[in-house]
């Protein structure tokens, strides 16, 4: 028998089909700066608008969804994991004060099931629409023998831009500044290796309804990461300066909040200042996880923490809420050594 690529485990026809199925979703993300259509060797994006800035700075972010994809396999739900991939990247760009311009995704799979790949990309496109950035390219790679047939991994990267004068650097944060937290939707895309130790990762376990969650365990865990791009744009459009911004991802409060702090200050966070989603209480109780470890692993209900002047509180909260997010005063900046104090 003559060998071909299909007999080696790579189905080129399936690749063509998945591209056809995803075209409509991708088209919905286009911006006027995008040049050419889907299928070129590279994505082209005009910089004509950027030239109007005084001192344009490109920003970039790259990430994946970690082991949250395992949840998607078990639940056979693939239409939101793409939102997570986009969120992890564009939130990092927004954190520096930037506007995400475009996104590219990379899907590695054991076998290309066109409908599944199209569902994943539909989620990626949805995340791009939420953040108003264009999905200008991507890659789906079949890895037979390296990955199980029903498994995949998803990652991507975003490129954004900011005028240098609008960069959020944290360098002017000082004692007396206020901390504003923006609510998360739950676990987002971090700490799933620990989640999978605490809860049995079976369809039966994930389909179990919990009164305290008001939903099944699986639905609570797979809830997509919030995208904060529009909230950050709304603050900027309100004419308010954000002095510092932390995207609360892996490493929770203790790793991420200090990343925005200059020398000589601490961030004092009041634990009782905002509602903690019930999934975190269930995680801690079921797994016997100590409080410090919870705050050192998870976002604990805050996807972003901003440092602002106290006089700007009302304008910032109003701007965030106008973008459909929930915001809370969660603490203040005090003298210290670039640490987080939980009180």
pLDDT along the chain (343 residues), means of 10: 59 69 81 79 87 95 93 95 97 97 95 91 96 93 90 96 96 97 96 93 94 95 97 96 96 96 97 96 96 96 98 98 98 96 96
Taking the whole predicted model, whether its pTM rises above 0.95 is answered as: no
Burial label for 322, CB within 10 Å (0-12, 13-18, 19+), is: middle
pLDDT of residue 43: 82
pLDDT of residue 342: 96
Burial label for 60, CB within 10 Å (0-12, 13-18, 19+), is: middle
Q: How does DSSP classify residue 327?
A: E
DSSP H/E element including 332:
strand 327-335
pLDDT of residue 263: 96
The residues spanned by each domain of the chain are: 12-166, 178-342
| Token output for 135 | 């999905």
Domain 12-166, CATH:
3.30.1330.10
pLDDT of residue 29: 87
3-state DSSP assignment of residue 59: strand
pLDDT of residue 41: 76
pLDDT of residue 100: 97
Domains 12-166 and 178-342 fall in the same CATH topology? no
**CA–CA separation, 85 and 225 (whole Å):** 9
Residues 178-342, CATH architecture: Alpha-Beta Complex (3.90)
- The angle, 0 to 180 degrees and rounded to 10, between the axes of the packed helices 12-27 and 114-130 is 20
């Amino acid at each position: 028998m003559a060998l071909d690529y299909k007999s080696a485990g790579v189905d080129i026809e399936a690749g063509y089909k998945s591209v056809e199925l995803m075209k409509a979703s991708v088209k919905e993300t286009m911006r006027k700066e995008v040049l050419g259509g889907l299928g070129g060797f590279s994505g082209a994006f005009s910089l004509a608008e950027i030239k109007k800035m005084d001192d344009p700075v490109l920003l970039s972010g790259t990430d994946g969804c970690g082991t949250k994809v395992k949840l998607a396999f078990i639940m056979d739900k693939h239409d939101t994991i793409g939102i997570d991939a986009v969120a992890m990247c564009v939130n990092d760009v927004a954190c520096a004060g930037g506007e995400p311009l475009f996104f590219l995704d990379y899907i590695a799979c054991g076998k290309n099931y066109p409908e599944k790949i199209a569902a994943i990309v539909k989620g990626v496109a949805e995340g791009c629409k939420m953040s108003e950035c264009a999905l200008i390219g991507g890659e789906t790679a079949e890895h037979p023998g390296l990955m199980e047939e029903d498994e995949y991994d998803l990652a991507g990267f975003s490129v954004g831009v900011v005028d240098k004068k609008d960069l959020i650097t944290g360098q002017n944060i000082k004692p007396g500044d206020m901390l504003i937290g923006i609510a998360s939707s739950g676990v987002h895309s971090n700490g799933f290796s620990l989640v999978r130790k605490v809860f049995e990762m079976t369809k039966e376990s994930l389909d179990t309804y919990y009164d305290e969650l008001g939903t099944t365990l699986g639905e609570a865990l797979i809830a997509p990461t919030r995208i904060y791009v529009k909230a950050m744009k709304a603050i900027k459009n309100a004419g308010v300066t954000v002095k510092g911004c932390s995207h609360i991802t892996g490493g929770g409060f203790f790793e991420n909040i200090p990343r925005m702090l200059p020398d000589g200050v601490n961030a004092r966070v009041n634990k009782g200042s905002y509602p903690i989603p019930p999934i975190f209480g269930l995680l801690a109780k079921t797994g016997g996880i100590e409080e410090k470890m919870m705050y050192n692993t998870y976002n604990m209900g805050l996807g972003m923490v901003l440092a602002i002047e106290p006089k700007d509180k009302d304008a910032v909260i109003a701007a965030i809420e106008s973008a459909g997010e929930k915001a809370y005063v969660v603490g203040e900046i005090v003298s210290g050594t670039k640490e987080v104090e939980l009180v």
